[in-house]
Amino acid sequence: MRILKLICVASLAATAFTAAPAAAATPAVQADGKALILVPLTLTKIQDLDFGAIVPSAVSGAVVINATTGNRTMIGGVTGVPSDAGFRARFAGAGSPSQQVIITMNPPAQLDDGSGNTIDVLGLTMDGPAIRTIDPVTRAFFLGVGGTIMINPNQVAGIYTGQFDVTANYQ
């Protein structure tokens, strides 16, 4: 019996002093790489924003062009000339199908007549969200822009103009 114990003890001692086997190397793992090549975006002005012909009064007022419908609304002491009702701005864009595009605008602070007279631009609006999805079939998107201007009491007659920037970028 004593011999059996010695053999077991010797066997355990040999196991304890044997170096641990080296860990197996991690097998190579593959990953895919990809690149999405998009068609360059285009953005084209179809129509300018036009607030139409307006007759001021001794009371200030505002003129609003709806970005979705193009309809004009008068507020306060202004009268719109029906034969020149104005219209919204329109833009068309094109790019890769089903991609999202972010639209940004930088409105002018004022319109001016070139002689030092100004009309304040209260804001510009879009006919929908700033993020658009390019149509998967036509590969196009469209944008309507309206806005609001403030007409001062007894505003000086003239043609008032200003520029605004519209930018489209892939999201």
For residue 34, being part of any structural domain is answered with no
Q: Count CB-CB contacts under 10 A for residue 53.
A: 14
Residue that wins the pLDDT comparison between 100 and 9? 100
For residue 132, being part of any structural domain is answered with yes
For residue 94, being part of any structural domain is answered with yes
pLDDT at residue number 5: 37
Q: Count CB-CB contacts under 10 A for residue 156.
A: 13
Q: Which residues fall within 8 angstroms of residue 92, CB to CB, at 6 or more apart?
A: 43, 44, 46, 140, 141, 142, 143
Q: Which residues constitute the domain of residue 138?
A: 42-156
For residue 23, being part of any structural domain is answered with no
Please compute Rg for the chain using Cα positions. 35
Tell me the average pLDDT across 113-141. Answer: 97
For residue 147, being part of any structural domain is answered with yes
- For residue 132, pLDDT over 90 is answered with yes
For residue 139, being part of any structural domain is answered with yes
Measure the CA–CA gap between 146 and 123, rounded to whole angstroms.
Answer: 9
Nearest residue to 86 via CA among 107, 117, 105, 63: 63
pLDDT category at 6 given cuts 50, 70, 90 is very low
For residue 5, being part of any structural domain is answered with no
Q: Count CB-CB contacts under 10 A for residue 115.
A: 8
For residue 35, being part of any structural domain is answered with no
Domain count, the chain: 1
pLDDT at residue number 17: 47
pLDDT at residue number 27: 85
Tell me the pLDDT tens digit for each residue of 73-126.
Answer: 999 999 999 999 999 999 999 999 999 999 999 999 999 999 999 999 999 999
